[in-house]
Structure 1
Amino acid sequence: MRMTTGLIFAGAVSLCATTVAWSQTPAPKGVQNAAAPVPARASGVQVACNGSPDALGVARVVQIDTTGGPGFGFEHFKQLDFLRDKEVVLTFDDGPWPGNTPAVLKALADQCTTGIFFSIGKHATYHPEILRNVAAAGHTVGSHTWSHANLNNKKLSEAQRKDEIEKGFSAVKWALEAAPAPFFRFPALQHPPEMVTYLGERNIAIFSCDVDSFDFKSHKAQQVVDNIFKKLDKVGKGIILMHDFQKHTAEALPEVLRRLKAGGYKVVQMKAKAPIETLAQYDEELKKDTKLPTVSSRPVNSVVQTISE
């Protein structure tokens, strides 16, 4: 897989302020400074904020050139070490899901911070309005396959694996009514080499992690908190893997964010330089699928009429 990628970062941004301050910091090797600051709205940093000066916020916004399919997260990829000490990226898998995803969004908004949401395609078609709320709040949205299939399963053909990837992205695009970021995470962090190569050819960035919350194994919110900080305080920075599908994660997140702030950690937002180019055949299949919700184009008064009042 080619790893010919670049990252562009903009300086510190406070989501709790009415103005955005930008700094030009010397770029590490392989990282290019942005030529000019990007306004907060254009950058996608439009997270709802309660205005608290003690909020965690977003310290830095990085823009990812996904050419060649770069990989992030030291669990599997060690080439692009762009995070500084005490910097974290918050990521959430398996949504959108009623109750849990909205609770995660509220916790993030209360702390004026942001994350990457890797949506399952099917879930996106079940709850498109929730996923649109994720995007509207300024978070980055990627994909996590169509059905959360383990792509390392030898029973799946190469064509079926590609279908899982491509249909997942097309479903997220359908739900958002806009193309998502070309950001992808393999279910169970299982990375079949041929699919890693395929994603590189499709210019889709691959995400592993540095800190796994193991929230899918946890039975209490406190376990999620403990799992994160046991590893994070040891490695000092990294991409944190959580699931907005999990109730305990939604319950734990306010405390996680509070402890990040107390521990001097700073959140980095990752954005794509350009949205994914989905494949037309999968977009069309999604449109033709009669199981998907449909939106009526008829005027309200032709559908709903008052007959008694």
Structure 2
Amino acid sequence: MSRHVARRDPRAHWLLLGLGLAVLLAALTLNGYVTGLGGGSGRAGSDVPAGPAAAAVTGGGPVLRLDGDRPVARTMPARTIALTFDDGPDPVWTPRILDALRRNHAHATFFVVGARVNEHPELVRRILAEGHELGSHTYTHADLARLPGWRQDLELDLTSKAISAATGRRETLLRPPYSSVPSALTADDVTALRRSGRIAVLADLDTRDWERPGVPAIVRGATPAGARGAVVLMHDGGGNRAETVAALDRLLPALRDRGYRFSTVSEGLGTAPATVPAPAGARLGGLALRSVQLGAAAIARVMTVLLTIALVLGLARLAVQLVCARVHLRQVRRRRALDARVGLPVSVIVPAYNEAANIAATVRSLVTSAYPRLEVIVVDDGSTDGTADLVERLRLPGVRVIRQANAGKPAALNTGARYARGRLLILVDGDTVFQPDTIHHLVQGFADPAVGAISGNTKVANRRRLLGRWQHLEYVIGFNLDRRMYDVLGCMPTIPGAIGAFRREVFHGVGGVPTDTLAEDTDLTMAVLRAGSRVVYEERAIAWTEAPGSLRQLWRQRYRWCYGTMQAMWKHRRTVRSGGPAGKLGRRALPYLAVFQVGLPLVAPAVDVYAVYGLVFLPGSQLAAAWFGLLALQALTAGYALHLDRERYGPLWSLPFQQVVYRQLMYLVVVQSVVTALLGNRLRWHRMVRTGEAAALIAPGPAPRP
């Protein structure tokens, strides 16, 4: 219904959006994989034990080579202690443990987690610089024996890359997580160690310091019997290690007094150094890995912040809506107590383009109105389905038909306004049906001379199908709760095209219906506020309208609404510096629209990706509690909104399904609209195909109810 020039809609942005969401999901998945780190010596995964390992492995020393035909197990020489620390590097406890070792002139071996190496590479460099040695503790502290072969290789390869990027060297030692002494090894453990190709370092003495049993218990657990040498298992990460630090300051002097020396594993056994120079490819790969990991962590933090902000804003919006709804109820009671019985002449203007399915019911509902001083002007905008002829054949009193060449809905409304004789103008869509008392209730607010326009209450007539129920809930919950809030705050940005009333002088004073935006109803309402007039909401003025009956039609309608609303917001952006009603529009309504109609929907697809990530990496009980909690809050809000509109609660059953399909469609509409606006494309009018369901539901009774 317009002469807007149509261009081909951009399509590449959908590919970019899909790629962006895929990258986001991959980043979140990586972060979930990395941050799912354990600690301590408790066995991960299933409690079902595997078969025992060979006696040659379980009965030997803690340092194992399994790459030959026969396993080789070695023990530390007498009076030699190899202190080993797992689960680091930790930004708090690793430096304190290094300080304790330096105070006591001792060296140790640190088995580091690759993901934590990427987070704190400076600590790994310090470990080597102070004469200690490094070994692998896998990338995510994963139980190797319970992983498939490809995952075992990945855990070790990523750890090597992380160490290579941080230090320029590669490790040859491995301590598998959740391991302790050789006697606890299973056949699966041995298979995983053999596959690794590394020297496995277990322990003679497990201090179980991760349980925090107290400093004396840790000291006893680390003290060998007699003059035996030992590999001692301790931790520098995975939790609070204050007891471990204190135990070192007691253990090391005491054992030194007994003639013990403290060395790295390799030094104590007299073997080659535990690290070798890393090739350039490994260093570059490690640097890339670190960048990806840190980037994924940053994205996860940003998503957490965005989700928190969205939740806080959503709850704040709901609180404001509910408070304003209560205030609006009190205001409405005062208005009705002062009902002045406005009876000014009214002209109802109905723009019509191919509205044969509904126009008869629309016009009949108008002329049977209980309001006495009324004329109806139907402006046929070049219809090709006989709309004008149909109205003329009705021969209804007080109804005029004006024909014009197709020029668009705004032009049709302006044509009707030029012919109108009433002091008040009511603009009605060609698929809308009024109740007998609708016009009376709609115009009573004009008793206040400061009121320049009044919004009615639009209801969905074709709500028998699921899509109709969803739109019905949207109208009642979103649109009408918002209108009550806008009314209280004095910043109503939109009078719906289906039902709105204007003072004649205000309408012509702002230049009539604007033709340079697609949301002409929003543009016109904002212009009225800019002119200094108030815009209010009358919930009793009910209009039944036919909502889109298919997802394709809904998309086209909402695409036009969203794009047109953004046009109107940009057009009236300078009202932020104005006073009076215009200032309330600029400082209240426009920021609200920018946040809740544009901003949050734009980030909503990313939030949905975060929800998918949560299904995999977050505790299911917490996720379910959050989802059902929000759903219950929405249901309570919807129930209250339905109560305010005196509607049945039956459609509430469709609310959970609305969150899965309908909500995503509305978000994608905003994405498409923003892209169209940024690229400067002009959007043509999309006319909805009428089915006549509204007319069938309303006609022929004079007081229609669905």
TM-score (norm 2): 0.28
**1:99-153 deviation digits (Å, cap 9, x = unpaired):** 2111111111112120111100011111111111111111111110001001122
CA distance in 1, matches of 2:131, 2:213: 30
Instruction: Say whether the 8 Å CA contact 2:164–2:282 is kept in structure 1.
Output: no
**Distance change (3 Å), C-alpha of 1:285 and 1:269:** closer
**Distance change (3 Å), C-alpha of 1:223 and 1:251:** same
CA distance in 2, matches of 1:214, 1:73: 21
Instruction: Say whether the 8 Å CA contact 1:89–1:240 is kept in structure 2.
Output: yes
Equivalent in 156, 162, 175 of residue 171 of structure 1: 162
CA distance in 2, matches of 1:233, 1:259: 13
Q: Is it true that 1:292 corresponds to 2:294 in the alignment?
A: yes
Equivalent in the alignment of 1:205: 199
Equivalent in the alignment of 1:162: 153
Q: Is it true that 1:257 corresponds to 2:252 in the alignment?
A: yes
TM-score (norm 1): 0.62
Q: Is it true that 1:104 corresponds to 2:97 in the alignment?
A: yes
Alignment of 1:45-56 (within 5 A): none
CA distance in 2, matches of 1:181, 1:71: 24
Equivalent in the alignment of 1:305: none
Equivalent in the alignment of 1:241: 233
Instruction: Say whether the 8 Å CA contact 1:101–1:130 is kept in structure 2.
Output: yes
| Amino acid in the other structure paired with 2:91 | P
**Distance change (3 Å), C-alpha of 1:90 and 1:71:** farther
**1:227-252 deviation digits (Å, cap 9, x = unpaired):** 222xx126722111111113321221
Equivalent in the alignment of 1:187: 177
Equivalent in the alignment of 2:222: 228
- Displacement of 1:84: 2.5
- Displacement of 1:281: 7.3
Equivalent in the alignment of 2:404: none
CA distance in 1, matches of 2:92, 2:276: 28
CA distance in 1, matches of 2:100, 2:283: 34
CA distance in 1, matches of 2:251, 2:79: 14
Give the SS at the match of 1:94.
strand
Equivalent in the alignment of 2:272: 273
CA distance in 2, matches of 1:286, 1:72: 41
Q: Is it true that 1:115 corresponds to 2:112 in the alignment?
A: no
Give the SS at the match of 2:107.
coil
Instruction: Say whether the 8 Å CA contact 1:121–1:145 is kept in structure 2.
Output: yes
**Distance change (3 Å), C-alpha of 1:282 and 1:73:** farther
**Distance change (3 Å), C-alpha of 1:166 and 1:283:** farther
Give the SS at the match of 1:74.
coil
**Distance change (3 Å), C-alpha of 1:278 and 1:151:** farther
Give the SS at the match of 1:138.
coil
- Displacement of 1:82: 5.2
Identity value in percent: 25
Instruction: Say whether the 8 Å CA contact 1:96–1:123 is kept in structure 2.
Output: yes
- Displacement of 1:172: 1.8
Instruction: Say whether the 8 Å CA contact 2:108–2:133 is kept in structure 1.
Output: yes
CA-atom RMSD in angstroms: 3.0
CA distance in 2, matches of 1:179, 1:285: 11
**Distance change (3 Å), C-alpha of 1:290 and 1:90:** same
**Distance change (3 Å), C-alpha of 1:188 and 1:73:** farther
What is the number of equivalent residue pairs in this alignment? 216
Instruction: Say which structure, 1 or 2, has more relative contact order (CA 8 Å, 6+ apart).
Output: 1
Equivalent in the alignment of 1:74: 61
Give the SS at the match of 2:264.
strand
CA distance in 1, matches of 2:293, 2:157: 18
CA distance in 2, matches of 1:215, 1:113: 19
**Distance change (3 Å), C-alpha of 1:131 and 1:285:** closer
Instruction: Say whether the 8 Å CA contact 2:165–2:283 is kept in structure 1.
Output: no
Where in structure 1 are there 5+ consecutive unaligned residues? 1-69, 294-309
- Displacement of 1:85: 1.9
Give the SS at the match of 2:169.
coil
**Distance change (3 Å), C-alpha of 1:86 and 1:218:** same
Where in structure 2 are there 5+ consecutive unaligned residues? 1-56, 65-70, 180-184, 296-706
